[in-house]
């Protein structure tokens, strides 16, 4: 089954609200537009797995174009609109794009060197492209290749190489991961989620996939810089769920009225996209009494999710990412490929139907991360006696100082316990004597004159071994983040 057909298997004729964004839009309305877009693409003679780019913020235009492209048998390539013009040009050229669906306000991102044969469709020119017909002929032709190999989506992610890497996800990958997430969240048509994560980011698309599959609904909010608007939406539209990366929760807890709000409709919240410090998780438990809190772990290369920690053991296993999601094997191995003993440190590897086909046009990088049927995540972790996994750090972010291997997360977790601190990020910086010295970047909630460099260092001395105490402390108004809310460690370096 084509992934679009799978998503709308039970909802394509429903008059029920699917999206709330500047009004209500039903499943029936959305699916009709999807079919029209799919047929419009087929009229351009685009072939299976031809690449079609999508550049848009969260909107009905994104959703309809995304599923329409996939329905047509082409491969959808959603692009972050905040990427540099050079990176976007690189992706367009490397994909040999057949067409680009783009919000009009982002047209300047295409530059002047774009191939004139590439068809450009904006929200304003969409109706002309569709050539609306009285009777839409739905092409039910089966995908010519195996669903396990046919690429539905390519998500470009910045990696260790100079250029973005394209993660190829098949129809099978998307169906497999969607089913698994629905199972452990126990999602149903009654669920309505407040969405602040961009759909071109795998965490954001997973919210779209899962809630549409069960016939739930989404409230789109593109204004997280005003966190009160998020809480207002949850209250107004009686949302049952919310999902975010660590910075979303840190901002909500420090810069919104969430602690004084009554949000009775919320059934669960979900966190992934990096480690949320334990002190913030404790605050969430206290603030959202009775709400299920899912701490999760994943990678774009795994479609979205790899593991989750069941809410009922959150406090008992604080700091853990849990175990593999249904249908996914997750384990921690040593350099010889053997499973580690409890308490040792190794690399997290994963296998399952959610693991990507590979990196687009990059066999060398694919072979580095997919070996012996396993995805090598590059994350270092330990396991407890019950098999629950605790991430230590990214291998490339481990600080090597004076012969010691230091996890920046451990230091960040200590600093973030200071009430005036909203965020902290720790890196290694070149040092003639130590090899790398520890440098901490800190964002304060207010101009607390007592919390200065000396205060931070003394606090760390009192709570950490001497070799883990920062040598340098820098205060910032905000940590540099990408549009998904993740801290840009490369920018700090």
Nearest CA to 130 among 51, 238, 255, 44? 44
Report the pLDDT value the prediction gives residue 180, as an integer from 0 to 100.
98
| Residue, of 38 and 83, whose pLDDT is higher | 38
Parallel, antiparallel, or unpaired: how do β-strands 241-244 and 192-195 relate?
parallel
Range with the poorest average pLDDT among 5-14, 144-153, 458-467: 144-153
Q: What is the signed CA dihedral for 445, 447, 448, 450, rounded to 10 degrees?
A: 130
d(CA 173, CA 467): 44
Block residue for tokens 């602040």:
196
Query: How far, in Å, CA of 94 to CA of 110, rounded?
Result: 14
Which domains can be identified in the chain, with CATH numbers?
3-144 (3.40.50.980), 175-394 (3.40.50.12780), 398-492 (3.30.300.30)
At 395 the pLDDT is: 64
pLDDT digits (tens, 9 = 90+) for 243-278: 998 889 988 998 899 999 999 999 999 999 888 889
What pLDDT, in 10s, does the model give residues 474-489? 999 999 987 677 788 8
pLDDT of 146 = 67
Distance of CA 278 to the CA centre of its chain: 20
> Does 84 or 191 have the greater pLDDT score?
191
Percent of the chain with pLDDT over 70: 94
Confidence of residue 352 (pLDDT cuts 50, 70, 90): very high
Phi/psi of residue 423, nearest 5 degrees: -140, 155
Give the pLDDT of residue 131. 63
Cα–Cα distance for residue pair 406/399, rounded to 1 Å: 5
Question: What's the rounded mean pLDDT across residues 219-248?
Answer: 95
Burial of 133 (0-12, 13-18, 19+ CB in 10 A): exposed
Tell which residue, 279, 333, 272, has the closest CA to residue 302. Answer: 272
- Confidence at residue 410, expressed as pLDDT on a 0 to 100 scale: 84
Task: Give the span between the Cα atoms of 74 and 100, in whole angstroms.
Answer: 12
User: What does the alpha-carbon distance between residue 174 and residue 169 come to, in Å, rounded to a whole number?
Assistant: 7
Q: What is the pTM of this model?
A: 0.85
Rounded Cα gap, residues 221 and 120, in angstroms: 26
Q: What is the 3-state secondary structure (H, E, C) of the chain?
A: CCHHHHHCCCCCCCCCEEEECCCEEEHHHHHHHHHHHHHHHHHCCCCCCCEEEEECCCCHHHHHHHHHHHHCCCEEEEECCCCCHHHHHHHHHHHCCCEEEECHHHHHHHCCCCCCCCEEECCCCHHHHHCCCCCCCCCCCCCCCCCCCCEEEEEEECCCCCCCEEEEEEHHHHHHHHHHHHHHHCCCCCCEEEECCCCCCHHHHHHHHHHHHCCCEEEECCCCCCHHHHHHHHHHCCCCEEEECHHHHHHHHHHCCHHHCCCCCCCEEEECCCCCCHHHHHHHHHHCCCCEEEEEEECHHHCCEEEEECHHHCCCCCCCCEEECCCEEEEEECCCCCECCCCCEEEEEEEECCCCCEECCCHHHHHHHEECCEEEEEEEEEECCCCCEEEEEEHHHCEEECCEEECHHHHHHHHCCCCCEEEEEEEEEEECCCEEEEEEEEEECCCCCCCCHHHHHHHHHHHCCHHHCCCEEEECCCCCECCCCCECHHHHC
Q: What is the pLDDT of residues 394-442, one digit of tens each?
A: 767 778 787 677 888 889 989 999 988 999 999 998 877 777 899 999 9
The predicted pLDDT at position 460 comes to 93
Check residues 304 and 148 and name the one with the higher pLDDT.
304
Look at the chain and count its residues.
493
């Amino acid at each position: 089954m084509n992934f679009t057909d799978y998503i709308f298997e039970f909802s394509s004729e429903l008059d029920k609200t699917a999206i709330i964004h500047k009004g209500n839009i039903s499943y029936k309305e959305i699916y009709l537009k999807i079919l029209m877009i799919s047929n419009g693409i087929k009229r351009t003679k685009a072939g299976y797995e031809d690449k079609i780019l999508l550049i848009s913020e969260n909107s009905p235009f994104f959703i309809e174009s995304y599923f329409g492209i996939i329905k047509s048998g082409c491969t959808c390539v959603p692009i972050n609109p905040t990427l540099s013009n050079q990176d976007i040009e690189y992706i367009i050229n490397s994909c040999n794009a057949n067409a680009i669906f783009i919000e009009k306000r982002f047209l300047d991102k295409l530059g002047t060197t774009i191939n004139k044969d590439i068809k450009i469709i904006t929200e304003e020119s969409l109706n002309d492209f569709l050539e609306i017909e009285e009777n839409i002929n739905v092409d039910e032709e089966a995908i010519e290749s195996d669903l396990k190999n046919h690429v539905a989506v390519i998500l470009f992610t910045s990696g260790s190489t100079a250029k973005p890497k394209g993660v190829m996800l098949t129809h099978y990958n998307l169906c497999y991961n969607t089913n698994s997430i629905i199972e452990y969240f126990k999602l149903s048509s009654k669920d309505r989620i407040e969405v602040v994560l961009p759909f071109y980011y795998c965490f954001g698309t997973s919210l779209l996939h899962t809630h549409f599959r069960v016939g739930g609904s989404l409230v789109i909010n593109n204004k997280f810089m005003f966190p009160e608007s998020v809480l207002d939406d949850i209250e107004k539209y009686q949302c049952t769920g919310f999902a975010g990366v660590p910075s979303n929760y840190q901002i909500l807890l420090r810069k919104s009225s969430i602690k004084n709000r009554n949000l009775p409709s919320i059934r669960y919240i979900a966190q992934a996209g990096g480690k949320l410090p334990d002190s913030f998780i404790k605050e969430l438990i206290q603030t959202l009494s009775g709400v299920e809190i899912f701490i999760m772990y994943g990678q774009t290369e795994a479609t979205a999710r790899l593991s989750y920690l069941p809410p009922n053991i959150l406090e008992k296993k604080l700091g853990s990412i849990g175990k593999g999601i249904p249908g996914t094997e997750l384990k921690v191995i040593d350099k010889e490929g053997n499973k580690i003993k409890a308490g040792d440190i190794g690399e997290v590897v994963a296998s399952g139907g959610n693991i990507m086909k590979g990196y687009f046009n990059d066999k060398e990088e694919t072979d580095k991360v997919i070996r012996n049927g396993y995805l090598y995540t590059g994350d270092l972790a330990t396991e407890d006696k019950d098999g629950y996994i605790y991430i230590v750090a990214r291998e490339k972010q481990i600080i090597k100082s004076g012969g010691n291997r230091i996890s920046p997360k451990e230091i960040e977790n200590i600093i973030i316990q200071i009430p005036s601190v909203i965020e902290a990020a720790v890196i290694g910086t070149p040092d003639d004597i130590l090899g790398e010295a520890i440098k901490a970047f800190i964002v304060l909630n207010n101009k607390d004159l007592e919390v200065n460099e000396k205060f931070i260092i003394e606090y760390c001395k009192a709570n950490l071994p001497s070799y883990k105490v920062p040598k340098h402390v820098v205060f910032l108004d905000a940590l540099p983040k990408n549009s998904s809310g993740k801290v840009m460690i490369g920018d700090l370096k």
